[in-house]
């Protein structure tokens, strides 16, 4: 029986572990994929307090090390359900069952797909969701970045240093990312923008060779030859395992505010898996701290 079980080992979950451990609580962290969360895929983090610049993987490693050094137990397991039995909760994983007095859900979110035919077929064969992971495969080649937010613009900056040509395809009339990133991209001769444009079809035999685009204002279509595309159109949660203890909104995010409370006492939601306006590593860490303090108060009665 643990005091706190934390589901997810990203910045929110690991911060929660650090705070709960410092309050002398027993803590188990469950993670289904990679420790450190989505931030580990960011080549450069420049907006986290205390670091002028740090790679996402290094930041993730520091968080993991700190939690382990304080005494956190960490298990690699996929949670498939959570049951509330009043005095305690049961977390059912694929490989084991775990009991706890309180739970913090910090399961994060994953890359949103375009939802086009053959997208899964071309994933790894011209369609990627991680510029840091796959950018080197497209050195001196032609690619497109789909999206106009911070992640898309950061990906485009990274890829523009490796690829011969980068086209940013945005469905709005403007990009929503930081002005500083836009200034960097506009100064690069190998970067161009297509606004009010969506991808309608992925083309190729075994490997993606072109994409069919449609301008939403004119309804005109055009084919853009590319060696690959990097999709950066946001994140989506995977909270189905928690719907028995948490109310979800229409997009599947756990309904919770800055208090991190959910619809079940003793169950808290932190980070990108919950409803919120700003999803950044620093806000995830803030959620983790609040959720841990709330969980500790709940355990103490």
What are the residue numbers of the active site?
130, 133-134
Using DSSP bridges, classify how beta strands 127-128 and 221-225 pair: parallel, antiparallel or unpaired: unpaired
> How many beta carbons lie within 10 A of that of residue 72, not counting itself?
23
- Check: CB of residue 224 under 8 Å from CB of residue 211: yes
Q: Whose CA is closest to 152, among 80, 215, 232, 37?
A: 232
Cβ atoms of 215 and 197 within 8 Å: the answer is yes
Place of tokens 């923008």: 193
Considering only CA atoms, which of 50, 40, 53, 54 is closest in space to residue 10? 40
* φ, ψ of residue 166 in degrees (nearest 5): -125, 125
Name the token pair of 140. Answer: 């001196």
């Amino acid at each position: 029986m643990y005091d706190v079980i934390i589901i997810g080992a990203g910045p929110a979950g690991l911060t929660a572990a650090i705070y709960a451990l410092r309050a002398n609580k027993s803590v188990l962290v469950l993670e289904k994929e990679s420790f450190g969360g989505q931030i580990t895929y960011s080549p450069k983090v420049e907006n986290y307090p205390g670091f002028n610049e740090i790679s996402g993987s290094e930041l993730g490693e520091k968080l993991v090390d700190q939690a382990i050094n304080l005494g956190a137990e960490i298990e690699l397991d996929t949670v498939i359900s959570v049951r509330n039995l009043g005095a305690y909760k049961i977390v059912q994983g694929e490989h084991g069952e775990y009991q706890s007095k309180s739970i913090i859900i910090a399961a994060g979110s994953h890359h949103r797909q375009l939802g086009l035919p053959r997208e899964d077929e071309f994933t790894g064969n011209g369609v990627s969701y991680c510029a840091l992971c796959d950018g080197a495969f497209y050195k001196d080649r032609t690619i497109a970045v789909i999206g106009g937010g911070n992640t898309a613009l950061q990906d485009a900056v990274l890829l523009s240093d490796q690829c011969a040509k980068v086209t940013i395809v945005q469905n709005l009339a403007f990009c929503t990312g930081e002005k500083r990133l836009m200034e960097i991209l506009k100064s690069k001769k190998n970067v161009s923008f297509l606004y009010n444009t969506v991808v309608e079809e992925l083309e190729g035999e075994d490997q993606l060779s072109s994409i069919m685009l449609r301008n939403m204002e004119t309804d005109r279509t055009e084919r853009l030859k590319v060696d690959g595309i990097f999709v950066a159109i946001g994140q989506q949660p995977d909270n189905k395992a928690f719907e028995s203890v948490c109310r979800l909104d229409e997009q599947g995010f756990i309904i919770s505010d800055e208090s991190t409370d959910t619809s079940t006492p003793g169950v808290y939601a932190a980070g990108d898996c919950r409803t919120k306006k700003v999803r950044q590593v620093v806000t995830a860490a803030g959620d983790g701290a609040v959720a841990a303090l709330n969980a500790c108060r709940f355990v103490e009665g």
